[in-house]
Amino acid sequence: MKKIGPLLLLGTIIVGGFLFSSRKKLPVVKKIATVTPTLKQAVAVNEKKSLFVPDWSLTGTGKIPTGYDRLIYFGTMTKSLPSQLNGQKEIWYTVKIAELPEQSQWPGLVQSNIDIAKNYNVSGIVLDLEISGLPTDDAMTQINKFVEYFYTQFHQHYIKMAVAIYGDTFYRRRPFDLRFINDHSDEIMVMAYDFHKSRGEPGPNFPLKDTDSRGYDFQRMITDFLQFVPSNKITVIFGMFGYDWNVDEKKRPIAPAKALTLNEIKSKFLGIGNSGNISIGCLLKDCIYKRDDVSKESEIDYTVSSSTPDDQGIYRIDYHIIWFEDEESVKLKTQYLNEKGIRSVAYWANGYF
């Protein structure tokens, strides 16, 4: 999960011919598993919509929209939370693990979260595993023990536990034993975003198709997860945001990309509010907006010229590429999920769209 700040510097992108040439192919990486298990597919459950609610979205006049079956709180619990979430069917909250703690710390960490769950009357906890590292046997064994300990302790107190996993777990060989984690959780939540990183090359949040040119895609990801997790136990999380890359003439990133919420992209580049559909061109003078036919996500290419010349009298031009997820791309991806018997989706995050 990631926070997107309210003020972001927007750069620029290229016009004419630069908008856009061929992309580099990503290497095809073999997935971790060498044995393909056979799972009996579960009967599809009713559609379920969840919304992640970061604590920073609750400040000021921010309101939580209705129409969701579950709200999943992210951040530090506050006393104002129950009143703001009053009337919702389910309340969960997230425990983010960026680095595996020492085993001696596990009991205290679990107990503190059990206390929070009871005090705020939440139905379940999302164990957000954002752990990096090589998929060694030792690393996966330690993560397995950690997940099992949390799951056992929470269940003793009748608290459900979901585990959030990177969508590129198989592609980038993450250190997760998905078969074991599936057996020791009530739900697997797949973070279907950030396939193209802010510090990497420009590209879709998570392309629906396009394995040939990018090495992986949303459909392949779902196929991989379904080998280890029944369809009625999967929730796919869509990231309602995008990245703005400042690039050179060959589309190579000059600096890490800036994250933009979907609302920011709509208002600053497309001139529409939350209720409008993206059906117009880009607002900027030197700007092109298009939806990619293969990935189904949207791209904005634009340039920004400096207001004053440099020492040699030259006006600098910055070139930018934005890729982002929106309601239309989510709709198409959700249709694919329904075909695979997956009816549960979630959105990252409140206030972003």
Write the single-letter amino acid at 25: K
The Cα 95–Cα 97 span in angstroms is: 6
Least confident of 23-27, 253-257, 338-342: 23-27
CATH number at residue 189: 3.20.20.80
In the predicted structure, residue 322 carries a pLDDT above the cut 80: yes
The predicted model gives 175-194 an average pLDDT of: 98
304 HSE (CA, 13 A, CB side): 16
Q: Which ranges in 193-292 belong to alpha helices (H)?
A: 211-214, 218-226, 262-265
pLDDT tier for residue 46 given thresholds of 50, 70 and 90: low
Task: For residues 197 and 135, state if they share a domain.
Answer: yes
The domain of 188 spans 44-240+326-348
Task: For residues 85 and 221, state if they share a domain.
Answer: yes
Strand order in the sheet with 317-324: 258-261, 241-247, 317-324, 298-305, 287-291
Task: For residues 54 and 135, state if they share a domain.
Answer: yes
Q: Is residue 67 part of a domain?
A: yes
Answer whether 164's CB lies under 8 Å from 189's CB. yes
Q: Is residue 232 part of a domain?
A: yes
Task: For residues 271 and 228, state if they share a domain.
Answer: no
The predicted model gives 148-176 an average pLDDT of: 97
**Is cis: bond before 353, omega within 30 of 0?**
no
Task: For residues 282 and 257, state if they share a domain.
Answer: yes
- pLDDT score at 57: 86
- pLDDT score at 264: 95
Q: Which residue has 């709180």 as its token pair?
A: 73
Strands 298-305 and 287-291: antiparallel
Q: Is residue 124 part of a domain?
A: yes
Task: For residues 309 and 216, state if they share a domain.
Answer: no
pLDDT tier for residue 185 given thresholds of 50, 70 and 90: very high
Q: Which ranges in 45-167 belong to alpha helices (H)?
A: 81-84, 106-119, 137-156
**Is cis: bond before 349, omega within 30 of 0?**
yes
The predicted model gives 48-53 an average pLDDT of: 94
Helix axes 137-156, 106-119, angle to 10 degrees: 40
The DSSP bridge partners found for residue 345 are 49, 236
Strands 234-239 and 187-191: parallel
The Cα 220–Cα 88 span in angstroms is: 34
Strands 241-247 and 234-239: unpaired
Q: Which two tokens stand for residue 233?
A: 């136990």
Q: Which residue has 């059990």 as its token pair?
A: 114
Give the SS3 label for residue 198.
coil
Answer whether 208's CB lies under 8 Å from 337's CB. no
In the predicted structure, residue 274 carries a pLDDT above the cut 70: no
Task: For residues 156 and 232, state if they share a domain.
Answer: yes
Task: For residues 223 and 153, state if they share a domain.
Answer: yes
Q: How many domains does the chain have?
A: 2
pLDDT tier for residue 228 given thresholds of 50, 70 and 90: very high
351: left (phi over 0), alpha (psi -120 to 50) or beta: left
This prediction's pTM? 0.85
Task: For residues 199 and 256, state if they share a domain.
Answer: no
Q: Give CA angle at 72 (68, 77), nearest 5°.
A: 135
**pLDDT tens digits for range 334-346:** 999 999 999 999 9
Q: Which residues contact 196 (CB under 8 A, 6 or more apart)?
A: 202, 203, 204, 205, 243, 323
- pLDDT score at 60: 60
Task: For residues 147 and 282, state if they share a domain.
Answer: no
Question: 272 burial class (0-12, 13-18, 19+ CB within 10 angstroms)?
Answer: middle
Q: Which residues contact 19 (CB under 8 A, 6 or more apart)?
A: 13, 288, 301
Answer whether 222's CB lies under 8 Å from 269's CB. no
Answer whether 13's CB lies under 8 Å from 287's CB. yes
Task: For residues 175 and 264, state if they share a domain.
Answer: no
Task: For residues 157 and 235, state if they share a domain.
Answer: yes
Phi first, then psi: what are they for 137, rounded to 5°?
A: -60, -40
